[in-house]
Structure 1
Amino acid sequence: MDLRESTLRDRAREYAAAEPLYDVERQHVETVPKTFAGDEYGRRDAQWIVRWYFRRYLGEFPDRERREREEAFRDNAFDDVVDALDAAVNALDAADVLDAADVLDTAGAVESEPADSGADRDADSDVDVALDALTDLDGVDVAVASGFLQFLAPSRFVAVDRRTWAVLAAAGELDGDYPEPPSTVDYRRFDDACRTVMERTGVDAWTLYRALWRSFAELPEPSP
């Protein structure tokens, strides 16, 4: 699996041209960071991310599990959702990974310089605080919480899932099969691998996510 800069940017452009959810994803990449940093958002704004995490599989994710998780999240008291999102936003702000200056180019890539690895690693504990706050909500495990991180800071975080993990593993950037379900430690390993690729290639997390998701189709079918 080739994760050179040119390949990643090509796959990200293919994603933008072919994936049916791309337009609405791009809209949320542009608006979610400011939406959740403010006070005027509703339950549906948060529900969208949970629904997105499962429905982007376009029917391939088990429908019963998807419904159970979405219903569990919907049953959270909205005050608890607000408290969790506030804690996550404050933790990411303390970790210096929220950047209100991020903008999208015409290909949908967030244009920003990759974060300094040393500064990021010093901020790991703050990111863990964000994950802990989000996973206190019913229906949110570490994987879904990583989806919140991706939209809260789209230039910095990639959502973890079977596809993004598998492509990084196939490229030799990550060891082991996808954990079911991933823990905070598993996400930290995944996040470290993503940062390594971003620092080497100069792409941001939103570009990397699209490239990894699109590249999954190139992986060989698992042996029976």
Structure 2
Amino acid sequence: MDLGRRILEQKEVLYAETEDLYEDEVAQLESLPTAFKEGTWSQEDIEWIIEWKVGKAFEKPVLRYFRNNDDAVIRDNIERAVHESNIRTKVESLTSLSGVGVPVASAILLFINPDRFTVIDERAWRVLYETGYLTQELSDDPTVEEYLIYLGACWALSNEYDVSLRALDMALWAFDTEDTITSD
């Protein structure tokens, strides 16, 4: 299977058809960027993002760690991630919160600005690695540096195939491990 605009569009549709939280995700993508910009987001919004990213199997332990953060610290770090211009600083601000690793930080950034950020994920990384867009495998505990490399590759692909970052993200996630991938 070729990694090109046509297959990305097909995989995006597959994502929408198979992802259980797709409708909630679309609704959150419509409302949360404004809430972050205006400072009207809530801790419940952040917890929804965490649940969306980590899934049912891991949400309780991750949320337990996250809830150990002081509310003021959460607000300060999220606001810093919203308003800081440096991506590394944004990610580091988020990952300094208990329970937030780079993958969850990338998910929060997606909902802050879906036109600029995408979610690092082992499935999507594997597709980019197998097609030669990334030259190394993803570590077990993704780093800020890996996210920056991944984000750069996604920006390049988004431009190359003229698809939004969110469409690219959904398509990459929807690739089945049994798909044969080649770059065109």
TM-score, normalised relative to structure 1: 0.75
Q: C-alpha separation between the residues in 1 aligned to 2:12 and 2:115?
A: 14
| Superposed displacement of residue 196, structure 1 | 1.4
Partner AA of 1:29 in structure 2: L
| Superposed displacement of residue 132, structure 1 | 1.1
Contact 2:39 2:79 in 1 (8 A): no
Match of 2:176 in 1: 216
Contact 1:157 1:205 in 2 (8 A): yes
| Superposed displacement of residue 218, structure 1 | 3.7
Uncovered stretches (5+) of structure 1, i.e. residues with no partner? 95-125
Match of 1:201 in 2: 161
SS in 1 for 2:119: coil
Percent of aligned positions that are identical: 30
| Superposed displacement of residue 177, structure 1 | 1.7
Uncovered stretches (5+) of structure 2, i.e. residues with no partner? none
Match of 1:49 in 2: 49
Match of 1:131 in 2: 91
Count of residue pairs brought into register by the alignment: 180
Partner AA of 2:116 in structure 1: R
1:190 aligns with 2:155: no
RMSD: 1.6
Q: C-alpha separation between the residues in 1 aligned to 2:131 and 2:50?
A: 28
Of 41-50 and 204-213, deviating more is 41-50
SS in 2 for 1:216: coil
| Superposed displacement of residue 66, structure 1 | 4.0
Q: C-alpha separation between the residues in 2 aligned to 1:214 and 1:201?
A: 17
Contact 1:70 1:139 in 2 (8 A): yes
Task: Show the 5 A alignment for 1:149-188.
Answer: 149-188=109-148
Q: C-alpha separation between the residues in 2 aligned to 1:162 and 1:215?
A: 11
Match of 2:2 in 1: 2
Partner AA of 2:15 in structure 1: Y
Of 68-77 and 81-90, deviating more is 68-77
Among candidates 75, 89, 106, match of residue 68 of structure 2? 75
| Superposed displacement of residue 67, structure 1 | 2.7
Q: Describe the shift of the 1:132–1:212 C-alpha distance in structure 2 as closer, same or farther (beyond 3 A).
A: same
Contact 1:47 1:74 in 2 (8 A): no
TM-score, normalised relative to structure 2: 0.91
SS in 1 for 2:11: helix
Partner AA of 1:41 in structure 2: W
Q: C-alpha separation between the residues in 2 aligned to 1:47 and 1:22?
A: 17
SS in 1 for 2:50: helix
Q: Describe the shift of the 1:70–1:219 C-alpha distance in structure 2 as closer, same or farther (beyond 3 A).
A: farther
The structure, 1 or 2, with the larger RCO (C-alpha pairs under 8 Å, 6+ apart) is 2
Match of 1:99 in 2: none
